[in-house]
Amino acid sequence: MHHDRVRPARADIPDLTMNIQETFCPRCGAPSPEGLCPACRVAETRWLECEGRIACVQCPTCFSIRQGKVWSDLQTDREGLIRDLALSAVRLHPEVTDVRTGIWFEEVSPNRTACTVEVHGRLYGLLVHDLCRVEIVWQREQCNRCSRISGGYYEGVVQIRAAGRGMTPHEREAAIRIAEEAEGALQASGERLSFVSGIEEIHDGLDIVVGSQHMGQVLCQALAGELGGRCTTHPKLVGERDGRQVYRITYALRLPFYRKGDIVLSKGTYYEVRKIEPQHLAVFNLMTGTGRALREEEVERRIGNVSDAESALVTYTSGDTVGVLDPATFAPRDIPAVPWLFPVEGAPVRVIRDPERDELIMIG
């Protein structure tokens, strides 16, 4: 009897049934290495979502914005803020790459802005594109800083006075500039309540009203560093808040009688004050060009300040003498040459006038 023999399957013949299942999309039949093809995966993926309405709380005075309970200064213009808010309403699938966006908006009313966000990207290797619409609702609320300023709130006063004299115009201008710079630096670092709420010019000094005690401390130290003097603090109890005692502090800055750049006379020699130390003046000898320490009691009188210097034309130089034209009368004057200056004929030189001794002193 003849029996048919069963031939074993050859290993080199592919299983067509398995190939068909593995290489075609089960949904659309398109070629797919594994499972759904990219187009079908994109079709069933919700890759773009938008919040239809978002609210923005903004201060009508300084335009800062509130997020939760925290106020922050606006770092962009209104158009930039609208774009940032519109984009914050967009949610993308984590697999979306190469994202590009376009935003158009229309001011529907003073409290409403309608935005259209166009999104282009790539998902599962395919380009995707869609639009979503977002409405921004503007809510107005005065921020904590503007509320304090308008309500006259403050935590300290920096009082600037000069010992035995009034403040000079230069010192007043410098103090106001330093206050503005300190306010800007502190607020840029996030201290929104460190503000200057007022500057009062009085006959012998300045009072700078500040919104925080830290602002008062920083400002007083900055003023002392540039103008000299020392700061003292004088707290005053003004009440309680949330069970804690509330103090207002007066920061008293006493400027020294002498200031940087003063020209003084001591034992017949003229000096320029370069620095005010606690126990003495660091001075520069205008005759020899050398530095030394000078006690205040050694000073006979103050002549002026380098900011008061005049420009005199040099007419000749000869040994120990320099000829100049008096800047007030244009009369020729002879003044002593100094070893640290090298005046040039026909060029100007800066001089300080000592009216009591009828002398001109070269200072540079």
Condensed to tens digits (0 to 9), the pLDDT of residues 4-49 reads 444 444 445 444 444 545 678 888 888 877 788 888 988 888 999 9
Element (H, E) at 188: helix 169-188
- pLDDT value of residue 109: 92
pTM given for the model = 0.66
301 three-class SS: strand
- pLDDT value of residue 29: 80
Q: What is the pLDDT of residues 346-358, one digit of tens each?
A: 999 999 999 999 8
- pLDDT value of residue 22: 60
Q: What is the pLDDT of residues 108-118, one digit of tens each?
A: 999 999 999 99
Q: Which of 216, 198, 194 is nearest to 207 (CA)?
A: 198
Place of tokens 């409403």: 112
Largest interatomic CA distance in the chain: 151
User: Phi/psi of residue 62, each to 5°?
Assistant: -110, 0
Q: What is the pLDDT of residues 251-271, one digit of tens each?
A: 999 998 898 899 999 999 999
In the predicted structure, residue 244 carries a pLDDT above the cut 50: yes
Q: Which two tokens stand for residue 261?
A: 């750049």
d(CA 184, CA 206): 20
Cβ atoms of 183 and 145 within 8 Å: the answer is no
Q: Which of 125, 103, 123 is nearest to 113 (CA)?
A: 103
Half-sphere exposure for 75 (CA within 13 Å, toward CB): 7
DSSP letter, residue 52? S
- pLDDT value of residue 242: 77
- pLDDT value of residue 305: 92
Cβ atoms of 113 and 106 within 8 Å: the answer is yes
